[in-house]
Structure 1
């Protein structure tokens, strides 16, 4: 067959999607698709669809969890679009659309108050929780979607409580502003994870195209729904709850499908606890499946990273206790119910991982009540010894298991301290 076609001069491929061969025969070069005839990526309907809605170089240019995450993200966006239509209709009805007694001024004031309180909420939330959105992207992504559903439910109910309508829609506006910050920031964090060729912009653009297509489909369905639900509160609430259940389920599946190879506090704690138990290193897939994705309110001993020196030690004697048996560029102590870690300016990423591992070990031996006692230096010294024994092998193990130890998503603050011992 190849003799009839001629001599193979060159081959080319487009990722794993398609490959071509160039044949030379009697002074003519001919290009043929490898593996039989067929349309190329750019010519077939499926090829055009991939070009429009998937990042260039897919699937090699994205993480392995990209397709599963995007599928569930599409489902949740579709159901959220339909729920949003019901909420918008209720809001418009509440401000007086269709009511001859309502004034334009009153409706405008209500809308401005709603937007204004939302803007303030956005600023305050970004100030308080902005640094958490990278390290706990899954939790805050799911939190944002739950809060979005609550806000839409409030908007649907608001018209049935006229005296409190403005208060309800303003509260819903605040919730939606938090959703905007948390949802947008965590989407960016997940895009960083998905981009494997420094192609964040392409992935973000294609994600926007996918969402626009979904919203267009939702718009078409909404045109059918609106006449049915108008002046029918029972049907409105029934459809809203149906879409909300689908929305929350799809969001849960979406964040559960994400497999991050970088350590945050939860993933590092899960991997370390398993290693201390049976010397087995969990893969990123296994650890991500165990990682909690809901905001937790149970009482645990919190860990504060990158704190000021006085949050760890408050006297020269305590400083010497903190430095005892510790040759690493960080200090660790227990203060006011928290495990606090003070980082030196020369600390590497590996030192950050080690400090967090030591804090996790110490946290597992304390309870919220006992952590408020003044002296825990013996336990701190024991944790130093434990790290000297296990950390080197643990670090080699996690790297071999596929974890990225060149960077972390640990929530370090920016304080860096240079300390001196008595010998200095």
Structure 2
């Protein structure tokens, strides 16, 4: 149990020792000793001896008065422990720790007749403090409570739906009916679980880096998949002959969602831990999950009890509550993820930071970046004008002469290069211009930040004179002016990036951003090697 110790400001005067050592005076080189010799030890006079004796007498009398005092002495030490505030008191014989915030409920005769309303208020305060310490960690960020509120909605209604879906599957497989065959039911159940776990392994292996770079999007997408899987399980009683197929498809979706939940849970918990108390935050999250799931189980049981006398309504109940419970579940997940402010740097978050720095001259906080980043369920990020991409140059998307001139200007000190590219956008039949950042093998975090900073400076310059660069794909191979302008723009933007890099890193570190590493996707981790022939 953790406790906090405070030194009170209204402390009594300290007791100083009456014995003082004589001060030693040293002579400087310019000073000389007195000519008249005097004895080294001066005899103690009566006045000084009497003064020392009186000081000792005074302090002894003060201590005796404290011991004989009728009212206890309040010492300047306050303890905050488990939501209560206590202070040390000296009653003349022993040291006592007494509650000073009124949380202590005593059953003594003096306190038995306290006002009922005041006592009830104290009891509520104690219970609230106990529940808070049971469910919530001590050191958490301010957005944690909002996250827990939405998590409550998500877990309760998701748990209730899972109970109803399991009931439907039991009904479909024939458990509880005379026609059911235990061996066939067990075989179907084992097959659907085995297929689900196999799919979970394949999904986790193929999407490993996305759990870091696109955490919120993957988390919400798999939550939608989980909700749909519950709907498929609810359909199994209507099509019992296809039980294995429907149950396997549903279990595959559930296993994929579970894999994502486990893979992203640590990063979510770390975003709330203020003092590296990741273990405590994770433990409290498990407590919350168990309690909220039990409430959902109770809700499902209450619905079954309510309609137990009408078998027709009981069979149709899941189809009525499924859209309502699923909507509340997904809303809870979506709103909860909006309160998760990740401090790790990805390409998208770093680009938001750099754009804010260039346009407004400051570094946004993790909360501001989280609001700007969103969850991006529809994959709308990167659809703006002149998007920046990290990766290797695609021969189909290159601007030949411009790319060649950029590569020729490289030397052994460069750990990245920037060029322009033309690629097919998501809209069929349209081509879009973009900026490509190619990283060299051995490039560090500072090189990635500087390269993206330079690329964003280039984009700002291009957008400020769009008429000049909008037809670059046709002009660059026929005009030397465009090549010269591009090389000059590259040099100027690199100078601006070098100027801003140190200040940008300092402000990012001061706001809590994890600047040691930048999380990149699999395609963004492609590198080139420099060959000096």
TM-score interval for Structure 1 and Structure 2 normalised by the shorter chain: 0.7 to 0.9
Mapped pair 1:131 → 2:209: yes
Name the residue aligned to 2:389: 303
Distance 1:18 1:320 in 2: 71
Could you tell me how far 1:38 is from its partner in structure 2?
A: 1.2
Query: What is the aligned counterpart of 1:198 among 276, 279, 285?
Result: 276
Name the residue aligned to 2:449: 353
SS of 1:37 mapped into structure 2 = coil
SS of 1:406 mapped into structure 2 = strand
Mapped pair 1:402 → 2:499: no
Name the residue aligned to 1:20: 86
1:116-195 residue pairs with structure 2 within 5 A?
116-195=194-273
Query: What is the aligned counterpart of 2:492 among 360, 367, 385?
Result: 385
TM-score, length basis structure 1: 0.80
Distance 2:253 2:186 in 1: 20
Name the residue aligned to 1:106: 184
Distance 2:268 2:491 in 1: 34
Mapped pair 1:37 → 2:37: no
TM-score, length basis structure 2: 0.65
Q: Deviations over 1:299-327 (max 9, x none)?
A: 7467345x6999999x9x97883473785
Could you tell me how far 1:198 is from its partner in structure 2?
A: 2.4
Instruction: Give the direction of change, closer, same or farther, for the CA distance of 1:405–1:216 in structure 2 (3 Å limit).
Output: closer
Aligned length: 409
Query: What is the aligned counterpart of 1:93 among 147, 171, 195?
Result: 171
Could you tell me how far 1:166 is from its partner in structure 2?
A: 2.2
Distance 1:88 1:265 in 2: 41
Could you tell me how far 1:208 is from its partner in structure 2?
A: 0.7
Name the residue aligned to 2:439: 342
Could you tell me how far 1:173 is from its partner in structure 2?
A: 1.1
CA contact (8 A) 1:22 1:30 kept: yes
CA contact (8 A) 1:154 1:172 kept: yes
Q: Which structure would you say has the larger Rg?
A: 2
Could you tell me how far 1:153 is from its partner in structure 2?
A: 0.7
Per chain length, whose mean CA-contact separation is higher, i.e. which structure has more relative contact order (CA < 8 Å, sep 6+)? 1
Which is helix-richer, 1 or 2? Answer: 1
Unaligned runs of 5+ in 1: none
Instruction: Give the direction of change, closer, same or farther, for the CA distance of 1:334–1:93 in structure 2 (3 Å limit).
Output: farther
SS of 1:10 mapped into structure 2 = strand
Could you tell me how far 1:416 is from its partner in structure 2?
A: 6.4
SS of 1:12 mapped into structure 2 = strand
Unaligned runs of 5+ in 2: 1-9, 13-70, 106-121, 424-433, 464-469
Distance 2:130 2:85 in 1: 17
SS of 1:255 mapped into structure 2 = helix
Superposed CA RMSD in Å reads: 4.1
Query: What is the aligned counterpart of 1:51 among 130, 133, 153?
Result: 133
CA contact (8 A) 1:115 1:170 kept: yes
SS of 2:97 mapped into structure 1 = strand
